[in-house]
Structures are given as C-alpha cells and as structure tokens.
C-alpha cells in the first residue's frame, strides 16, 4: 500500500480512538470541495480558501453528519533529491484534518465545540510517526472553511493542516523492478504482470585488497565467502 495512504489510515485510527465521543464519525478520503459543495459562485474553486474570500456554505449532507473529523491526504507537494546520486528522494506530503462541530457551546450542548475539536486533533497528531518510516507530523495552519445553521445554531467546519516527509528510493537508470517476495515494495508489479528483472544475485563473497602509501601494488588480500568453497 502507498505510504501516503498508510499514513492517512494511521491518522484516522488515532483520531477515532482519541476523540472518543467528541466526533460522531472519523473517516478518510473526504476532500475540502466535498465538504463545502461544488456550487460556489467564485468560479473555479480553490479548496484552500484565503481569508479574503467569503466563507462558503456547507454541503447539507455534511452538515447533518457533524460533529465529525475527516482526514484528507493532500498529496505529495514536492520531491527533491536527497543524495548527489539522485537514487533517493525526499518526498514532502501534506494532510488536512477537517473538523466540524457547534461554533458556540452552551449548557444545552453536550459536545466539545469546534475549537476544542481543533485543539484535540492537533494535540493527538503533532509529532507522531505511527511507527511508519516518515518524519513526525508537523502541525501547520488552521483555516475556517465554512459555516451554516442547523436547528437554529451555527455550526462551523475548520481545516487543520499537517506536513511530513519521507525518503523514496528510485530504480537505477534503465533498470526494472525486481521484487524478492510477496512483501517486497515492488510486489505490485509482479501481481499485475509488469515487466520485471530477475531477483538480485545472492551475496556469495567479498574480496578486500590492501596497498600501502597509495601505491597500486597489492600487498595483501582478504576474501570472505558466505558458504564454504
């Protein structure tokens, strides 16, 4: 499974356990355009709303599901070489947790309220790596997405952004995947009959040659074998 989705699932699972009764549901794969609806008047919708733009209304179906939290994998935002050989890349990814709850809490409401939900999400996720090979989550911006009335009370939806990065290894130039077994990260190519190379050769021996004072003449050699010769 893609590391991008593994991390999204891990974030959802931690929020599901940690938020308890604060959220009616915790789910993934819901994007910001779905939350706010697609019938916005400002033309091409930019999901990351700037403070200068008017806050859109909320999708009616989404409003009915609050209080809730949804984890959105925002994708890999950039990828830069991590070594001079360009065989390993640092992939930067962004995630957004969308929370929705009552804007104002009173004695008649048993929920946490929108801003308490924001605090809880950031508290639960910041600095976590979930045992995955990623840099621990960095909390970033908090952005209001929209507001609407339900039962005469204002409900609000807020986006909490997080970022992280991890290392991706590239194939050598001109080479094809060579999965070793079903748990290999490249087993996907074998499963769907993609072009493969033969598995990597077993390590059989290592030879070390020694010279002195940078002279090319070899003075001694060691050879190590993985099995008796």
Most confident of 9-18, 23-32, 165-174, 180-189: 9-18
Domain identity same for 154 and 68? yes
Domain identity same for 28 and 117? yes
The pLDDT value recorded for residue 145 is 84
In a domain, 78, yes or no: yes
**Residues of the chain above pLDDT 90, percent:** 52
CA dist 138 to 35, 125, 131, 141, Å? 24, 8, 16, 10
In a domain, 215, yes or no: yes
Q: Which residues in 4-22 are b (16+ Cβ under 10 Å) and which e?
A: beebbebbbebbeebbeeb
In a domain, 164, yes or no: yes
Q: Which residues in 118-152 are b (16+ Cβ under 10 Å) and which e?
A: bebbbebbeebeeeeebbebebeebbebbbbeeee
The pLDDT value recorded for residue 53 is 42
In a domain, 176, yes or no: no
pLDDT tens per residue, range 139-176: 999 998 888 898 899 999 999 999 999 999 999 989 99
Q: What are the tokens at 193? A: 């009959």
How far is CA 217 from its chain centroid? 53
Mean pLDDT computed over 1-9: 90
Mean pLDDT rounded to a whole number for the chain:
83
The pLDDT value recorded for residue 201 is 61
The pLDDT value recorded for residue 51 is 35
The pLDDT value recorded for residue 56 is 57
**Domain that residue 203 falls in:** 187-225
Q: Is 75 exposed, middle or buried (0-12, 13-18, 19+ CB in 10 A)?
A: exposed
Please enumerate in sequence order all residues whose Cβ is within 8 A of that of 103, keeping only pairs 6 or more positions apart, or say none: 113, 114, 147, 153, 154, 155, 156
Domain identity same for 155 and 211? no
In a domain, 175, yes or no: no
Residue pointed to by tokens 């033309």: 43
The pLDDT value recorded for residue 227 is 67
Residue 46: what are its φ and ψ, rounded to 5°? Answer: -100, 115
CA–CA dist 10, 20 (Å, integer)? 16
Nearest of 210, 227, 206 to residue 218 by alpha carbon: 210
Each as own residue / partner, the long-range contacts of residues 207-214 (CB below 8 Å, 24 or more positions apart, any chain) are none
Domain identity same for 210 and 100? no
pLDDT tens per residue, range 29-60: 766 666 665 333 333 333 333 333 444 567 77
The total domain count for the chain is: 2
Peptide bond preceding 67: is omega within 30 degrees of 0, i.e. cis? yes
């Amino acid at each position: 499974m893609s590391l991008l989705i593994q991390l999204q699932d891990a974030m959802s699972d931690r929020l599901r356990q940690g938020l308890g009764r604060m959220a009616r549901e915790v789910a993934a794969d819901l994007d910001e355009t779905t939350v706010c609806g697609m019938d916005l008047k400002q033309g091409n919708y930019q999901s990351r709303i700037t403070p200068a733009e008017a806050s859109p209304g909320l999708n009616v179906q989404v409003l009915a599901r609050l209080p809730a939290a949804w984890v959105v994998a925002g994708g890999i935002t950039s990828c830069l070489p991590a070594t001079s050989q360009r065989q390993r890349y640092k992939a930067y990814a962004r995630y957004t947790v969308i929370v929705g709850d009552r804007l104002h809490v009173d004695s008649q409401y048993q929920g946490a309220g929108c801003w308490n939900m924001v605090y809880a999400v950031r508290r639960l996720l910041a600095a976590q790596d979930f045992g995955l090979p990623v840099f621990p989550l960095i909390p970033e911006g908090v952005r209001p997405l929209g507001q609407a009335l339900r039962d005469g009370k204002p409900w609000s939806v807020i986006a909490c952004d997080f970022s992280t990065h991890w290392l991706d290894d590239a194939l050598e130039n001109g080479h094809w995947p060579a999965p070793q077994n079903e748990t290999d990260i490249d087993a996907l190519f074998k499963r769907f009959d993609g072009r493969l190379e033969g598995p990597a050769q077993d390590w059989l021996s290592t030879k070390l040659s020694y010279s002195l004072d940078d002279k090319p003449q070899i003075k001694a050699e060691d050879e190590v074998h993985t099995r008796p010769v």
